[in-house]
Amino acid sequence: MRRNARWALGLLGELLSNAKPGGRYAGPPLTTGGGRALVTGATGGIGEEVCRGLAARGYSVYVGARDAERGEAVAERLRAEFPGARHECVLCDLNSGDAALPRGVDLLVNNAGVMGAAADETMRVNLVAQARLTLALRARNKKLRVVNVASSSHLRAKICPVASMLGDRRRDKSLAAYAASKLGLLQFTAALQNVGIDARACHPGLVWTPMLKGFFPAPLRALMPCCVLFKTPREDAATVVLACVDDAAGTYYVDSEDRPAAASREISETGGLVGELGALGINIPT
């Protein structure tokens, strides 16, 4: 009950911030340079806008997609808008675990996620597969920068019971598995930071994405896109892009600011998660 209350208060703060005139952030200043970035879940929601924001800042972008046709369409749009760099689609299906490991990745944005699916799929896509991908790419590039896209829903969770949720085919109607997976992603971020890996986490905010749309009953779907309490995908992506390009290496980005106070104390309790991932053969280097 206490955790639900803190989540509700956090959510209220987000809604009030979104409704404040002139209070929305357009994104960090344009910069030159960049490198090679891989963005997972890049064909819908904020994913494409993150790709666009990174391309505008000089990155060559790998568009991570489970649907090759949709991924290539995004890559083609990036090539048309930002012709000075090489933008490509790569297969990245975190549900099946079939993810390519493209070469030369300097920045990984773990943006892919599911909500309201089976508990097993939620935990695999939102945490386990992302951890595998992160460590596989880190083995290739010790200077890899990692940005994990989390959610304020982690405030509802106390622990991330990976083992008990893997294999659970029941639909996550209460979003308990979603909250646990996002807490786990933040704990994974902290565990990486603890061993000196350049990892950041962010909560982009409330936005009317296809994932969120699918969770609402039909009568509400027609009203939600007009609601001033939701950010646009581009506004949400601004927080993610800031986490990517901020050389000051903040802890937890919310509303395009470094706001670690917006996160729960459970994030620092990484021992249980490290052990659960280790049992799956996912070992964080020391």
Sign of CA dihedral 79, 82, 86, 91: negative
Residue 24 has pLDDT above 60, yes or no: no
Instruction: Name the band, by pLDDT with cuts 50, 70 and 90, for residue 244.
Output: very high
Residue 10 has pLDDT above 80, yes or no: no
Residue 4 has pLDDT above 80, yes or no: no
Which is higher by pLDDT, 109 or 235?
109
Which is higher by pLDDT, 65 or 11?
65
Instruction: Name the band, by pLDDT with cuts 50, 70 and 90, for residue 91.
Output: very high
Residue 202 has pLDDT above 70, yes or no: yes
Assess contact for 98 and 124: CB atoms under 8 A.
Answer: no
**276-284: long-range pairs with CB below 8 Å, 24+:** 276/160, 276/161, 276/162, 276/163, 277/128, 277/131, 277/162, 277/188, 279/163, 280/128, 280/162, 282/128, 282/131, 282/132, 282/135, 283/135, 284/135, 284/191, 284/192, 284/195
| Residue 90 exposure: Cα atoms within 13 Å on the Cβ side | 21
Mean pLDDT over all residues of the chain? 86
Residue 217 has pLDDT above 70, yes or no: no
pLDDT score of 106? 96
Instruction: Name the band, by pLDDT with cuts 50, 70 and 90, for residue 32.
Output: low
pLDDT score of 23? 47
pLDDT score of 163? 95
Cα→Cα distances 75→69, 80, 87, Å = 10, 9, 6
Instruction: Indicate the range of 44-53, 66-75, 97-106, 222-231 predicted with least confidence.
Output: 222-231
- Retrieve residue 71's tokens: 């991924």
State the average pLDDT over residues 120-148. 96
Condensed to tens digits (0 to 9), the pLDDT of residues 250-275 reads 889 988 888 888 889 999 999 999 99
Distance CA 177, CA 123 (A): 7
Distance CA 83, CA 64 (A): 19
Residue 136 has pLDDT above 90, yes or no: yes
What counts of helices (H) and strands (E) characterise the chain?
A: 11, 9
State the average pLDDT over residues 107-129. 95
Per mean pLDDT, which of 83-87, 179-183, 212-216 is the most reliable?
A: 179-183
Residue 227 has pLDDT above 90, yes or no: no
Instruction: Name the band, by pLDDT with cuts 50, 70 and 90, for residue 144.
Output: very high
> Looking at the DSSP assignment, which residues form a beta bridge with residue 93?
98
State the average pLDDT over residues 144-148. 97
Q: Which domains does the chain have, with CATH numbers?
A: 2-271 (3.40.50.720)
H or E element, residue 110: strand 107-110
Assess contact for 136 and 110: CB atoms under 8 A.
Answer: no
